[in-house]
Amino acid sequence: MDAVPRHEIIGLTPAFGNPGAVLREHARQRPGQRAIMCGDESIMWSELDQRMDRVAATLQREGIVPTQCVAICAGTSIDYLVLFLGAMRAGVAVALISPSLTPRAITGMIADSGAPRVFMDRTNADVLSAARAQIAAPVTLLDAEPSLESWLAAPGARPTHVEPRPEWPFNIIYSSGTTGEPKGIVQPFAMRWTHMQRGPAHGYDADSITLISTPLYSNTTLVSVFPTLATGGAVALMPKFDAQRYLELAERIHATHTMLVPVQYHRIMARPDFDRYDLSAFRAKFSTSAPFAADLKRDVLARWPGGLTEFYGMTEGGGTCILQAHVHRDKLHTVGLPAPGHDIRLIDESGQEVGPGEAGEVMGHSPSSIMTGYHNRREATAEAEWFRNGQRFIRTGDIGRFDAEGFLTLVDRKKDMIISGGFNIYPGDLETVLRAHPDVLEAAVVGVPSVEWGETPAAFVVTRADAAASAESIRAWANEQLGRMQRIATVELMPELPRSSIGKVLKRELRARYGG
């Protein structure tokens, strides 16, 4: 066993360092070890390092300088990640654009980013063909002509060395728009460096194999990709999630780590053949981005080897809570404790901190895990901030309360809170009751217009396959459990709830069914 931990040798311990240099050292130490896998393709550490150099050198050849950005709108692939990492080595940020959006939204985000070069795959370029004239920057395709290979500098090219600064933009991630117009969240190098540093604490090392089935344009994915690479492990990319193929792949590659959103855990655990797969290599599993039901966590802990850790936070950063579910099995209804060095406060509508046990909006501060701001949107940035004693906090828009031991329980989204007859109703409370019905699989509650009350709760329910209950019987059952002012006005049965690409329920689409 090494006398000095491997992650100290490669320099993850300083308060801030050069991520590109860390990856180069891994290439020197383990050139023939796999770094990235996707389908039948793989790339070794030595080749990854060389291709990062070629990307960085080409960006420099084009006059793209540190703190500028390039844009990527493509599906998951090895080339996507190589491009991202090469830009990092050049100190160039990457604007990560979801290809699942409308052409208008995509072209708007590309324009907002100011990227002088855009990368797409052929599928998304074809979808955007009618809108291509609105993209001023030249477009390079990752899997067709003009291809990434033809764009790259010749093999062996080396870029001019760049030493990044903590405040430089690392990437721009556009918000999903689940609660409003998408905004470009600028994450600095310091924030991503912090994510890389915490790798060893979560069991990542040079023997790790992290299975990724969420998209590369999501921070959900990146908080596992970068710790894996920072510790010399391998990332296995799964471009499209399918529960059966996920389990087959996890068994075949002996996956040790994974990041999944709750709806993916649900689909995996619901498979009748789950228990026949050998998942014994798993050390740690992670989840974030959406509410994770306590009973689902309990099922994962009972049947899936390795630890289970839930992260609660925002792409904007600010403050994070961490629940080590395998350690705190009596706290599965919470999102855990504030991460070390993170300051989480709860405030009321007037901006004052609430008392013990009271609910309030969650505010988060951390020294480095915090966005620079929203790109080109100073007013929106200011609206997201809250200051206390000179410290900058980020508003989450979530309502929560701390228990006596300091664990945070989320009550609901502030924007989703229903005000009915002047009474505050938290949809999460109603959804918890609905999910307790034996025939209910999933539930979402939103406020819809009411002449009498201003707003009233409407529930959208997905029932189990063998369910016999009607919408009205579910409504009556739930209302027996609820307070008078919480009662649900209507229940609508649905085959599935509308979700974003990372599993968030799109409540605005549900409200729209009632003209909301």
| pLDDT per position as a tens digit, 173-230 | 997 544 446 789 999 999 999 999 999 999 999 999 999 999 999 999 999 999 999 9
Q: Whole-angstrom Cα distance, residue 478 to residue 402?
A: 26
Distance of alpha carbon 479 from its chain centroid, rounded? 34
At residue 9, does pLDDT exceed 80? no
Confidence of residue 39 (pLDDT cuts 50, 70, 90): very high
Q: Whole-angstrom Cα distance, residue 209 to residue 35?
A: 9
How much is the average pLDDT of 230-237? Answer: 98
What CATH number is given to the structural domain containing 456? 3.30.300.30
Residue 109: the pLDDT is: 92
Those residues with Cβ within 8 angstroms of residue 489's Cβ, 6 or more apart along the chain or in another chain: 448, 450, 456, 457, 458
Strand 118-120 to 41-44 pairing? unpaired
pLDDT digit string (tens) for 239-270? 999 999 999 999 999 999 999 988 899 899 99
- Whether 440 is covered by a domain: the verdict is yes
- Whether 500 is covered by a domain: the verdict is yes
Residue 452: the pLDDT is: 76
- Whether 296 is covered by a domain: the verdict is no
Strand 234-237 to 34-38 pairing? parallel
Written as one string, the DSSP assignment of 210-263 is EEE-S-TTSHHHHHHHHHHHHTT-EEEE-SS--HHHHHHHHHHHT--EEE--HH
pTM: 0.83
**Cα–Cα separations (whole angstroms), residue 267 to 260, 287, 335, 431, 466:** 11, 14, 21, 19, 17
- Whether 70 is covered by a domain: the verdict is no
- Whether 28 is covered by a domain: the verdict is no
Confidence of residue 421 (pLDDT cuts 50, 70, 90): low
Q: Whole-angstrom Cα distance, residue 504 to residue 336?
A: 20
pLDDT digit string (tens) for 144-166? 877 788 999 999 999 999 999 99
- Whether 347 is covered by a domain: the verdict is no
- Whether 346 is covered by a domain: the verdict is no
- Whether 4 is covered by a domain: the verdict is no
Q: Which domain holds residue 458?
A: 417-512
Mean pLDDT score across all residues of the chain: 92
Could you give the number of structural domains in the chain?
1
Record the tokens describing residue 209, joined without a space: 């194999």
**Which of 386, 385, 365 lies closest to 373 in space, CA to CA?**
385
How much is the average pLDDT of 368-382? Answer: 95
At residue 281, does pLDDT exceed 70? yes
Q: Whole-angstrom Cα distance, residue 258 to residue 285?
A: 5
